[in-house]
Amino acid sequence: MIDELLAGNKRFVAGEFKRNELYYESLAQQQTPKVLWIGCSDSRVSEEVITGSRPGTIFVHRNVANIVAFNDVNISAILEYGVVHLKIEDIIVCGHTRCGGIQAIEDGVHENYIADWLCIASGAKDRADKIASENNLSREQKLEVLSAENVKLQIKHLQNLALLKNMRKKGPTPRIHGWVYRIETGVIDVLVDGCTGKSFPDIPGLS
């Protein structure tokens, strides 16, 4: 596999990079991304591919189940660099369907570090349990709801961080958006529109 990756880099240099050399030269001088992406580490969810974006557009943080942890120095540093120094005005929290982390939140997990990490999303499971019970949802529907509720919970975590709370006191940015990417169809569902503040149902047809 490593040889394939290096061969792919050679094709990239000879093709995409060479055809757009001036663009990549400008990127070498500085980056001016427009969006900060907080997504899942899942190998099937490539933010540039699923949004049709070019390198230099998205500033990225990814972890298991797209979680925003209060004690995570990594995400705190990324947020500060992104919104303070890069002046990014839009943050996207993007979950996805068929997520192993979401399934582990639902079913439980025994590995120590994974379990400790996923407990940060326990509030999303409480909410999904209630919705599933009230609407007699199938397991697949419940997992979709859990993915969505986790995105909404992580947005709340973001909104409670002092950095963002203080910035929002001074103006409307950074705007925070909530998305779920459907691996099975390639479609992105918008859960929270950061520009209007409007929220949408967790799964189609569920009010």
**Residues belonging to the active site:** 40, 42, 44, 96, 99
Q: Which residue has the tokens 């490593």?
A: 2
Give me the helix-helix angle, 139-160 and 100-107, nearest 10°. Answer: 100
Give CA–CA dist 24/27, Å, rounded. Answer: 5
Give CA–CA dist 64/84, Å, rounded. Answer: 25
For the chain, the farthest-separated pair of C-alpha atoms sits apart, in whole angstroms, at 56
Q: Which secondary structure element, helix H or strand E, spans residue 92, and what is its range?
A: strand 90-96
Comparing CA positions, the residue from 60, 75, 33 lying closest to residue 164 is 75
